[in-house]
Amino acid sequence: MSKFRKKKKGMPAVNTAALPDIVFMLLFFFMVTTTMRETDLRIENPRLPSASEVKKLEHKSLVCTIYVGKSKDPNRDGVGYNKIQLNDKIASADQVPAFIINARTKVSEAEVPFMTTSIKADKESNVGTITDIRIKLRDVNALKISYSASKGAGN
């Protein structure tokens, strides 16, 4: 019996010296792939429609995003899925031209024609809201738009 007891006594500790290395590796991975969220969402994260014919948006600096969806704070902004968020506040379609012109000041003039407006709208939003935005975009000659959608079967 005494022999067995001796063996139990010296329980070897797991070597954790490589743990920081592993963690650092993960850390660097996430540091490299991370992109900070630029704006706080005033609306609930829109449930994007799915489509099969989607194109990736390149050149993030040339993309300005308009969110449409349900407000997180219905007491202040009202209910319904048709709230428009520009930058980080709820706005109306009339403020879209100012938003676009403001975004244009941040890029060089040569790149303005390549600017794309990405509309991130909830599935349950109404086409009327989108049309209002579209008409305003046309007024300021922001003609490239992208209806944000997740890649899927489209059905």
Residue 53 in 3-state DSSP? coil
How many Å apart are CA 47 and CA 81, to the nearest integer?
11
Tokens of 9: 């006594």
End-to-end distance of the chain based on CA atoms, in angstroms? 70
Q: Does 56 bind other proteins (CB under 8 A)?
A: yes
* Residue 34 or 105 with smaller CB distance to other proteins: 34
Report, in Å, the least distance between residue 75 CB and other proteins.
Answer: 24
H or E segment to which residue 80 belongs:
none
Amino acid at 56: K
Number of residues that bind other proteins (CB under 8 A): 57
Q: Does 40 bind other proteins (CB under 8 A)?
A: no
Residues 63, 91, 107, 112: which binds other proteins (CB under 8 A)? 63
Q: Does 11 bind other proteins (CB under 8 A)?
A: no
How many Å apart are CA 113 and CA 62, to the nearest integer?
10
Site residues (CB under 8 A) for other proteins, limited to 124-143:
124-131, 134, 137-139, 141-143
Residues 16, 61, 75, 105: which binds other proteins (CB under 8 A)? 16
* Residue 42 or 148 with smaller CB distance to other proteins: 148
3-6: list long-range contacts, CB under 8 Å, 24+ apart.
none
| Edge-to-edge strand list for the sheet holding 116-121 | 89-91, 83-86, 63-69, 116-121
Q: Does 13 bind other proteins (CB under 8 A)?
A: no
Residues that bind other proteins (CB under 8 A): 16, 19-20, 23-24, 26-27, 30-31, 33-37, 49, 51-57, 60, 63, 65, 68, 116, 118-119, 121-131, 134, 137-139, 141-151, 154-155
